[in-house]
């Protein structure tokens, strides 16, 4: 038999394979949330939000683990920390409040807490009646080590605690009391050995926006149709005159399609006719003419100074102005002559117009982002944003962002928000889901959704559950639009007045952010250009319209009522609390939202059938909503003002679309006042 003892000799150090740097660090940190693509992109929150960060933190063996959340404004070198509490299954949670808008970042640290391990075990030893004298010496060592890492008052306190633990003159019960003292534990845990602390290897980014990024109601209109006189081209000053009405309807963002000079070459006529007749105004999206491009205002609308005036006037009405950013040019745009290299050239030397073969859009030149001069192009396009920001604009609705490179938007939005963190970008992309998500991830503040095409109970439930509960909710903030100048959905074409009411209630209560294209919406414009089309007949995209805003059948007051309900009920100011509830009639849709403090509960029931009365039994999750199943509660319909006294989870609802196709209930708990009578709050 060989000499076994010799065989146990360590292998010579020369044979050592490469060892990690910090092999003594035993704690593991995994699966931090929120986290978007491993920290490649930022999660999004609103200023004032309590940001909850969770992580799996554990170590080998049975030692106690501590961890903490580190957070800071991006760019700072220091950080603030917050303790993390153990949940179940090795998961911990901590929070911090996002006190300012801008970019933040956070990460997690964890370590084996030797003092806490010792303290926990000491309790068990005591309970088992073991002799603790050696343990007190070990405790003294641990506290002295912590004292050595502490400074000032803490160091002195820890040293005093150590002395007490070591004091053999004391009664063992007194030493034990000192050892398990919670203030000692709280002090000791603040000074882990930095050599043994694990930190997640990256700081995770967070974008903190102002509240309007999550909660807003948009009103879109064409300024050129705003003239009070039929036939006259409207101006930005005419738009200013509309602000009182828009504010009374309860909107807080006014969004204008492009306001720039419109090209003459290959200008489209009414109803998208290939050739405009003389005097026809053309499409506002054919941007650029002799009088300027993206930094100019159409001469018939006004001047950039009028934009500043409109911004200020709107602000006085509690409204923000949103401009359209459509990065494309008419053939008459100054860029086309001055920077032909920013466009693709056809083999015949002309600039390539937009095409979706076999369709041709000769009035539009798309930019060629693969140009060797991409740096100049990007810089110039960003300067367009800067230009309007200088004129007071803080919200941009971006037209077709998915036809420009993702990298461009990430850079441009990143740079703008670095300089102006209050700027909001709405992504107009009704394209493939992953493209829409990428745009949201890379920085767009809000995103249009497929809401316009989701009509049935199943569709709406599935889609809004995905939007509000799926992983994308960390970065994709939905905006629901029942109509846009490009989308007149079939439901609105055939459903009559109830259809408009249904879609408005759905948009305004399912989504914290929504918008309508008016006055087409409140005046229930519903004729398509041709059967099967979602284009409006006589669309404002190609011609002036004069709207009779005082038409007695206008939905103006209904819109105002719905927006007032939104404003009064914090439950409707965010999306994550949305929950759908069972109902035994698929023509009805039932859902609730609650405010973060649970003080405000809104329960909405919508009849999706615009033609027939539908009725059914709805089922409320009383426990989830904090309602006592043994006591009646009040369902206060904020639309009609009616109040119902409901008992238990199942309640009956009937909705006649000709009367009111929806209830927006505020649920009120019955509580007993100090004066000993019941009331509902």
Q: Which residues are catalytic?
A: 399, 428
For the segment 301-320, give every residue that binds a copy of itself (CB under 8 A). 303-304
Q: Which stretch binds a copy of itself (CB under 8 A): 26-34, 168-176, 205-213, 217-225?
A: 26-34
Question: 58 near 108, Cβ under 8 Å?
Answer: no
From 44-52, 74-82, 274-282, 370-378, give the range in contact with a copy of itself by CB under 8 A: 370-378
Site for a copy of itself in 250-279 (CB under 8 A): 261
Q: Which stretch binds a copy of itself (CB under 8 A): 127-135, 173-181, 269-277, 496-504?
A: 127-135
Bridge partners (DSSP) of residue 218 are: 253, 515
Residue 290 binding a copy of itself, by CB under 8 A: yes
Segment interacting with a copy of itself (CB under 8 A) among 184-192, 403-411, 483-491, 553-561: 403-411
The piece of 103-111, 401-409, 462-470, 607-615 that touches a copy of itself (CB under 8 A) is: 401-409
Angstrom CA distances, 495 to 52, 78, 501, stand at 43, 59, 10
What would the DSSP string read from start to end of 173-235? HHHHHHHT-HHHHHHHTT---GGG-EE-SSPEEEEEE-GGGTSEEEEE--GGG--SSTTSPP-
- State the minimum distance, in angstroms, from the CB of residue 195 to a copy of itself: 9
**Which CB, 404 or 666, lies closer to a copy of itself?**
404
Q: Site for a copy of itself (CB under 8 A): which residue of 211, 245, 415, 535?
A: 415
C-beta of 335 vs 591, nearer to a copy of itself: 335
Short-list 299, 239, 326, CA closest to 519? 239
Interface positions, 31-60, toward a copy of itself (CB under 8 A): 37-38, 56, 58-60
Q: How far is CA 32 from CA 39, 81, 439, 604, in A?
A: 10, 16, 23, 35
What string marks each residue from 567 to 606 as x (binds a copy of itself by CB under 8 A) or -?
Answer: ----------------------------------------
CB 164, CB 175: distance < 8 Å: yes
d(CA 370, CA 354): 15
Q: Does 462 bind a copy of itself (CB under 8 A)?
A: no
Query: In the complex, what is the shortest distance from the CB of residue 344 to a copy of itself, in angstroms, rounded to a whole number?
Result: 10
Q: Does 438 bind a copy of itself (CB under 8 A)?
A: yes
Ramachandran region, residue 177 (left: φ > 0; alpha: ψ -120 to 50; beta: rest): alpha
From candidates 131, 153, 173, 348, binder to a copy of itself by CB under 8 A: 348
Contact between 626 and 602 under an 8 Å Cβ cutoff? The reply is no
Pairing status of strand 85-86 against strand 65-73: unpaired
> From residue 47, how far is each of 205, 210, 437, 480, 553 by CA, in Å?
15, 6, 23, 22, 40
First-last CA distance in the chain: 87
Check binding of 93 to a copy of itself (CB under 8 A): no
Does 170 help bind a copy of itself (rule: CB under 8 A)?
Answer: no
Closer to a copy of itself by Cβ: residue 299 or 470: 299
d(CA 653, CA 606): 10
Exactly one of 404, 477, 561, 579 binds a copy of itself (CB under 8 A); which one?
Answer: 404
Binding track, positions 376-395, relative to a copy of itself; x by CB under 8 A: x-xxx-xx--xx--------
What does the alpha-carbon distance between residue 512 and residue 507 come to, in Å, rounded to a whole number? 8
| Site track for a copy of itself across 129-168, x = CB under 8 A | -x---x--xx--x---------------------------
The one among 33, 271, 403, 465 contacting a copy of itself by CB under 8 A: 403
Of positions 110, 257, 281, 293, contacts a copy of itself by CB under 8 A: 293
Which DSSP letter does residue 487 get? B
């Amino acid at each position: 038999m060989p000499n076994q003892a010799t065989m146990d000799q360590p292998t010579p150090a020369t044979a050592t394979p490469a060892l990690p740097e910090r092999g003594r660090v035993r704690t593991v940190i995994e699966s931090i949330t929120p986290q978007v693509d491993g920290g490649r992109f930022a999660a999004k929150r609103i200023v004032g939000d309590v940001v909850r960060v969770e992580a799996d933190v554990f170590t080998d063996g049975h030692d106690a683990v501590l961890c903490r959340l580190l957070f800071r404004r991006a760019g700072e070198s220091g950080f603030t920390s917050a303790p993390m509490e153990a949940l179940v299954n090795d998961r911990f949670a901590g929070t911090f409040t996002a006190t300012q808008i801008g970019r933040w970042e956070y990460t997690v640290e964890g370590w084996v807490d030797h003092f806490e391990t010792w303290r926990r075990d000491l309790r068990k030893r005591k309970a088992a009646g073991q002799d603790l004298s050696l343990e007190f010496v070990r405790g003294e060592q641990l506290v002295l080590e912590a004292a050595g890492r502490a400074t000032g008052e803490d160091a002195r306190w820890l040293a005093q605690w150590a002395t007490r633990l070591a004091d053999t003159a004391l009664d063992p019960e007194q030493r034990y009391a000192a050892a398990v003292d919670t203030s000692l534990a709280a002090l000791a845990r603040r000074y882990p050995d930095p050599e043994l602390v694990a930190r997640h290897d990256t700081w995770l980014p967070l974008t903190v926006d102002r509240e309007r990024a999550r909660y807003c109601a948009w009103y879109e209109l064409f300024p050129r149709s705003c003239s009070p006189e039929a036939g006259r081209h409207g101006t930005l000053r005419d738009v200013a005159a509309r602000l009182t009405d828009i504010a009374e309807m309860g909107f807080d963002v006014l969004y204008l399609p492009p306001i720039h000079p419109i090209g003459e070459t290959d200008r489209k006529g009414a109803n998208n006719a290939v050739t405009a007749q003389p005097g026809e105004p053309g499409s506002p999206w054919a941007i650029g003419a002799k009088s300027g491009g993206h930094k100019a205002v159409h001469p018939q609308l006004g001047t950039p100074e009028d934009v500043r005036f409109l911004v200020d006037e709107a602000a006085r009405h509690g409204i923000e102005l949103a401009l359209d950013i459509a990065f494309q040019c008419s053939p008459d745009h100054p860029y086309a002559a001055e920077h032909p290299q920013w466009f693709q050239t056809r083999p015949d030397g002309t600039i390539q117009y937009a095409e979706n073969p076999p369709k041709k859009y000769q009035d539009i030149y798309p930019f060629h982002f693969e140009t060797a001069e991409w740096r100049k192009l990007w810089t110039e396009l960003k300067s367009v944003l800067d230009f309007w920001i200088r004129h007071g604009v803080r919200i941009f609705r971006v037209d077709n962002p998915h036809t420009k490179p993702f990298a461009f938007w990430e850079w441009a939005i990143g740079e703008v928000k670095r300089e102006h963190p209050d700027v909001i970008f709405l992504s107009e992309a009704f394209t493939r889901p992953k493209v829409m998500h990428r745009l949201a991830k890379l920085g767009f503040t809000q995103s249009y959704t497929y809401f316009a095409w989701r009509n049935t109970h199943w569709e709406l439930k599935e889609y809004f559950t995905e939007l509000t509960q799926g992983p994308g909710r960390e970065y994709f903030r939905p905006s629901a639009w029942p109509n846009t100048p490009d989308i007149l959905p079939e439901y609105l074409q055939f459903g009559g007045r109830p259809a408009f009411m249904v879609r408005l209630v759905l948009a305004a209560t399912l989504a914290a952010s929504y918008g309508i294209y008016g006055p087409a919406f409140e005046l229930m414009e519903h004729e398509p250009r041709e059967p099967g089309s979602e284009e409006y007949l006589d669309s404002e995209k190609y011609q002036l319209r004069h709207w009779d805003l005082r038409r007695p059948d206008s939905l103006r007051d209904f819109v105002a009522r719905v927006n007032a309900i939104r404003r009064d009920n914090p439950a409707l100011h965010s999306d994550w609390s949305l929950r759908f509830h069972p109902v035994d009639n698929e023509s009805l849709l039932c859902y609730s939202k609650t405010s973060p403090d649970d003080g405000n509960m809104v329960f909405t029931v919508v009849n999706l059938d615009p033609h027939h009365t539908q009725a059914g039994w709805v089922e409320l999750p009383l426990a989830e909503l904090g309602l006592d199943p043994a006591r009646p509660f009040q369902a206060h319909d904020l639309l009609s003002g009616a109040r119902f006294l409901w008992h238990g989870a199942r309640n009956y609802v009937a909705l006649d679309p000709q009367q009111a196709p929806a209830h927006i209930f505020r649920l009120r708990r019955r509580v007993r006042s100090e004066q000993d009578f019941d009331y509902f709050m």
